Structures are given as structure tokens and as C-alpha cells.
Amino acid sequence: MPEQADRRPFRYPLRWRLMDALEATLDVIWPRRFARYSGWALIAPALLLVGILVLGLIQIAESSLHVLDRATFLPSDDYTLANYRTMIDSPTYWRVLWRSLLGAGLTVFFTLLLALPYSYIMVRTARAGIRKALLVVLFLPFFIGQVVRAYGILIVLGTSGALNEALGLIGAGPYRLLFNFPAVVFGLVQYMLPFAVLMLAPALTAIPRETETAASSLGANWIRSFRHVVIPMAKPGLIGAGLVVGTLSLTDFAMPAMLGGGSQDFIANAIYDQFFRTADQGLGSALALLLVALGSVLAGFVIAIFGAGTLGMGGGRK
């Protein structure tokens, strides 16, 4: 019987036939003599997107050199730096700039403060059920969307919302918890937390458990071990998460618009107002370039001082 089984004709698996057909098709579309250019072909879509972005920035820069003609509400033909002078001389835009920087900085601080223990528990817990539950809770906000989450915060923190009702049970409140700067920061932290956790989790996973065990065997308690071992070794993840959270917070539009009530605008809100409310594309373009330059300078400064963290594509740790 074993000999008869060995004599059965070999059947070429269907998946092998499909792979052969795919390879033959690729040989027709992309001949082997073009193999040296395969890498460039793979990144061609990304280069195309970057090229479109650069062309858009060039057009925005050109538009920023034209002031709005109040008679026709069209950009003037003359090139001038008047929009930049208006931006520099206006105390309003300086307040918006300071509010944006302060909001982004506070968001980075509180987000990392919450994301680090969350990521650590999610990575280090030995129970698979808890780990899966933490992952589900982490990914649920991505299915809701920023605007819907902002509306949820409006409902919870409103004058007759759940939080004020809970405070009313102990005889406190109601308090005005919305349409102020802390509400915007709270909304940004709530929105940015999943991004920070996703950036920190790989960095914490890369830390061997043996290092913490060794610290404990040398007499360090959990707090000292976490402070002197885990946090320094998680530095790449902290830097990468801080860069992502900081840039996204600096350029955010929805949270300041919805939770700030029009009185806590960030730079993105000022750009929107110039483009779609006052139709001053020149001033809006100047503000847009300011936002791009500001974000680039801050990111470059952080990378120059601390390194790129987990965004450094495998760079060595310092």
C-alpha cells in the first residue's frame, strides 16, 4: 500500500499555478532588465504624492504674496509682503500662535503621561484577556471619528451633561466645563492618546523583561526600576510619540473649533477663517506657510536634540 501511494501522480497545486501566472504577467509588464529600477517603481506613488504636496506649497507661497483687493474681492496682481506684515503686526495672530504652541505642548505632556502606563500594562500583562481588552479599547476610537468624539465630549461636559449631573449629586456645580482652553486640551489628549500608545508599545516590547528583573534583584523597587530602567530605554518611543502628537495637535482644527466655541482658535482655525469666511486667500496662505514652517522647525529642533526616536527607521539608541 505505501508503494502504491508513492506511485500516485503529482498534482501541481493551484496556488503554484496562480503564482506562475502572476510571475509571467509581471515579466511582460516589467521585464527582468528593469530589475534595477524596481525600488524606484515601488516608491513612485509616494514620490508622486510628495511632488503634489510640494507643488501645492509652491502655489500657496505664490498666493501669499498677493493681497486681497477689497473692491473686487480678488487677489491683486502685484507681489508684496503685506500679508506677512499684517500677520506680524496683529496681536490676534500672536495670541493664536501662542495658544497653538501651548496647547500642543500640554497635549504632548498629558498624552505621554497617560499613554506610558497604558502601554506598559498592555505590553507587560501576562493575561491574554486583559491584553486583548486593552487593544480593543485602544482601537475603538478609530472607528468613531474625531468629530463624533468631540460631540460626545460636548454631551458629557455640557452644563446638563453627565459630569455636572454627577457633581450635582454631591451638591456641587453646575460648572462651565466647555468652550475654554482646558476643554480643548482635554479633547486633544483624548484624541491623541491612541496614537501615542501605538507609538510607545513597540518601544516597550523591545525592552527585555530580564532588565527589570535584574534591577529588582539589585534592590530597586518597581518605581525606581520603572524610572531608571524602563523610561530611559523607552526614550525612542517617547520621542516618536511626542513628535506625532505634537505635530497633530499643532495642526488640529476640529477640537479647537468645537470645544473652544470660537474663542480658542488654533492656527488651523485662523487659516480656515481667512480662506472660507473672509475670502482672503493671501493672508490665509501666509498663515499656512507659518504653520508649515513652525511645525518643521519644532520637529527639526526635537530631532536635532533628542533624535528621531522610533521614527528614525532603526537608528541606534543613544
Q: Which residues of the chain have pLDDT under 70?
A: 1-8, 10, 311-318
- pLDDT, one tens digit per residue, over 42-70 is 898 999 999 999 999 999 999 999 998 88
- pLDDT, one tens digit per residue, over 114-139 is 999 999 999 988 888 888 898 888 88
pTM, two decimal places: 0.83
* Residues whose CB falls within 8 Å of the CB of residue 244, separated by 6 or more in sequence, listed in order: 195, 196, 199, 311
Task: Domain 90-312: give its CATH superfamily.
Answer: MetI-like (1.10.3720.10)
pLDDT in the model for residue 274: 93
pLDDT in the model for residue 7: 65
pLDDT in the model for residue 279: 87
pLDDT in the model for residue 318: 45
The CA-to-CA distance between both ends of the chain, in Å, stands at 65
Domain positions in the chain: 1-63, 90-312
Q: Which is nearest to 233 in space by CA: 203, 209, 213?
A: 203
Longest dimension (CA), the chain: 97
pLDDT in the model for residue 317: 45
The Cα 290–Cα 312 span in angstroms is: 26
